[in-house]
Amino acid sequence: MTAVVLQARLDSARLPEKALLLLDGKPLVFRAMESLNRIGVDLRILACPEDSEASFAPLAASAGFQIHTGPKEDVLERFCQAIRRFSIKRVIRATGDNPFVFPDAAKAINGEAVS
C-alpha cells in the first residue's frame, strides 16, 4: 500500500495556527490536501497532535483524508504510528503548512506518468 502522510499542527511558535490561515478562501492545509489528491495513492492521511484533531478533522474528511492523531511533542512517532496503523509499505510525506506542494515529483517516484 502506498500512502500520502500529511503532517500538520497548530502550535507554531512563529505563526500560530498557520495551517489554518486562508489562501484564496480555504485553509493552507486544505490547499495542500487538494494538491496531494492529484497523486495516485491507496490512502491519504492527515497526521496531527491529539489537541488539533477537532480543527483538522472536518477539513480532512472533506478532502478525502483519514485522520491520525498522535503525540504532540514527537512528530516522528506520530508519523511512524500512522504508518503502522494503516500498514503502509510506501509513503510520501508532506507538511500541512506548505500550500505549494508539487505532486509531479511524488508521481514520478510513485511510478505514475507525469503530465
Q: What residues does each domain of the chain span?
A: 2-109
The Cα 51–Cα 53 span in angstroms is 6
Span 34-73, pLDDT tens digits: 989 988 899 999 999 999 999 999 999 999 999 999 999 9
pLDDT at 15: 86
Which pLDDT score is estimated for 75?
92
Alpha helices in 48-113 (DSSP H): 53-63, 75-85, 103-109
Per CATH, the number for 2-109 is 3.90.550.10
| Separation between Cα atoms, residue 75 and residue 12, nearest integer Å | 13
Amino acid (one-letter) located at 54: A
Q: What is the pLDDT of residues 6-20, one digit of tens each?
A: 999 998 889 889 899
Indicate the pTM of the whole model.
0.88
